[in-house]
Amino acid sequence: QKEVEQDPGPLSVPEGAIVSLNCTYSNSAFQYFMWYRQYSRKGPELLMYTYSSGNKEDGRFTAQVDKSSKYISLFIRDSQPSDSATYLCAMRRSGAGSYQLTFGKGTKLSVIP
């Protein structure tokens, strides 16, 4: 079992839909949770960051972390064609020097106009 599991999709939704993307993980030492967005033929870019459990909202994006279930989610409201990309969850342990990120495989999302 990989440390981080993510359904690769692909996921196709109509414009305006609510999108839910999820990851599960097995390493209870993970404390920092991130979502990266990767457009085709580009490098990943940080989209959202959450520490420990809880919710974080940024515009149309909401990140949730449930450490008791080892489950993280990213919600996109009012999805737009420009949201079409691959979304990768990433996580790392706490502590100085622990900046290595472990990534999920990514979920490819297409938002259809």
- 55 is an interface residue for other proteins by CB under 8 A: no
- Least separation in angstroms between residue 18's CB and other proteins is 25
Binding mask 68-107 for other proteins (x = CB under 8 A): --------------------x---x----xxxxxxxxxx-
Instruction: For the chain, report the end-to-end CA distance as a whole number of angstroms.
Output: 37
Query: Which of 13, 32, 60, 67 is the binder for other proteins (CB under 8 A)?
Result: 32
- Give strand ranges (E) for 1-113: 4-6, 11-14, 19-25, 30-38, 45-51, 54-58, 61-66, 71-76, 85-93, 102-103, 107-112
Question: Under the rule (CB under 8 A), what is the footprint of other proteins?
Answer: 6, 32, 34, 41-46, 49, 51, 88, 92, 97-106
